[in-house]
C-alpha cells in the first residue's frame, strides 16, 4: 500500500503541472482537475498516515492545553465557534507533537462537520493525576449504539459510521496514533445529543504542571 501510494503521486504531480499550463480559456477545466488531484493526494496522505509507524525516539514532553488551543484556533473561526475549556493546571504527556495534533484534529474536524454549529473541546486530568485527557463534544445526530464499536475499524464507511467518509481511515488513524502513545480513545453518545470523544494519555511521571498559554 505504501509503495502504490507513493507511485501514484508521480503521475498526479505531472497532471497538476500540465493542468497549470493550460490556456486561460480552459481555466474552468483546470480548476476542476486541480481540485481532483488535490483530493487524490489527500486520500494518499490518509493511507500513508495510517501506515506510518511512530518513532518513539522523537517523543518529547507536550502540553495538551497548547495542542488543543492551536487546533481550536486553526479549525474554528467566524462561522464555526468552538468552545474551549482547558484545565488550569495539567501535567505534560510524552509523544510526537505532529502525530498527537493530527489525531485530535481529526476528532475536531469530525465534530465540526456533524456538530450542528456547536463544538466543545475540554482538557483535564484524572483524579489520580496519572492520565491527561482531551474531550471533543458536538451537538450532532449521534450514532446508533451498536455502530460505535465499528467507528475505529479501517475502511468503515457509510451513514452508520459517522465521520468515516472518503477512505474510511479518519478515526482509524486516531486509534492507531493514540495506541502508539499508550493512550486510549472512546466515543459515546451524549445525553444532550451528539457525540463525545475522549482521548487519554499517561502523564509524565514527576512531570511539571503546565499553565495554558494565554
Q: What is the per-residue pLDDT across 30-50, written as a single tens digit (0 to 9) for each? A: 888 888 888 787 777 767 766
Question: Residue 159 has what pLDDT?
Answer: 45
Q: How far is CA 110 from the centre of its chain?
A: 8
- pLDDT band, residue 214 (cuts 50/70/90): very low
For the segment 145-159, what is each residue's pLDDT rounded down to a tens digit? 878 777 877 655 444
Place of cell 488535490: 38
Tens-digit pLDDT profile for residues 183-206: 999 999 998 888 999 999 999 976
Strands (E), the chain: 60-62, 82-85, 90-91, 93-95, 119-125, 131-138, 184-189, 195-202, 209-210
Q: How far apart are CA 138 and CA 140, in angstroms?
A: 6
* pLDDT per residue as tens digits for the range 77-96: 777 789 999 998 899 999 98
Residue 103, phi-psi category: left (phi > 0), alpha (psi -120 to 50), beta (remainder):
alpha
Spatial CA neighbour of 190 closest among 124, 138, 115: 138
Sign of the CA dihedral running 190, 214, 131, 175: positive
**pLDDT recorded at residue 156:** 55
pTM of the model: 0.71
Helices (H), 52-114: 64-75, 97-114
CA gap 14, 90 in Å, rounded: 48
Amino acid at each position: 500500500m505504501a509503495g502504490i501510494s507513493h507511485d501514484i503521486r508521480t503521475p498526479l504531480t505531472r497532471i497538476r503541472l500540465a493542468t497549470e499550463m493550460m490556456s486561460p480559456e480552459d481555466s474552468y477545466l483546470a480548476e476542476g482537475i486541480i481540485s481532483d488531484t488535490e483530493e487524490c493526494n489527500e486520500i494518499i496522505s490518509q493511507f500513508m498516515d495510517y501506515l506510518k509507524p511512530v518513532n518513539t525516539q522523537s517523543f518529547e514532553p507536550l502540553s495538551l492545553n497548547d495542542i488543543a488551543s492551536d487546533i481550536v484556533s486553526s479549525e474554528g473561526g467566524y462561522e464555526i465557534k468552538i468552545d474551549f475549556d482547558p484545565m488550569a493546571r495539567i501535567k505534560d504527556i510524552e509523544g510526537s507533537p505532529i502525530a498527537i495534533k493530527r489525531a485530535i484534529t481529526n476528532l475536531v474536524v469530525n465534530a465540526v462537520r456533524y456538530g450542528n454549529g456547536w463544538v466543545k473541546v475540554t482538557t483535564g486530568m484524572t483524579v489520580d493525576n496519572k492520565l491527561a485527557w482531551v474531550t471533543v463534544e458536538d451537538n450532532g445526530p449521534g450514532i446508533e449504539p451498536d455502530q460505535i464499536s465499528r467507528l475505529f475499524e479501517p475502511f468503515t464507511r457509510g451513514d452508520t459510521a459517522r465521520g468515516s467518509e472518503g477512505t474510511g481511515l479518519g478515526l482509524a488513524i486516531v486509534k492507531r496514533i493514540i495506541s502508539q502513545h499508550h493512550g486510549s480513545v472512546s466515543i459515546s453518545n451524549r445525553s444532550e445529543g451528539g457525540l463525545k470523544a475522549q482521548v487519554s494519555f499517561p502523564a509524565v511521571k514527576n512531570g511539571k504542571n503546565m499553565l495554558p498559554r494565554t
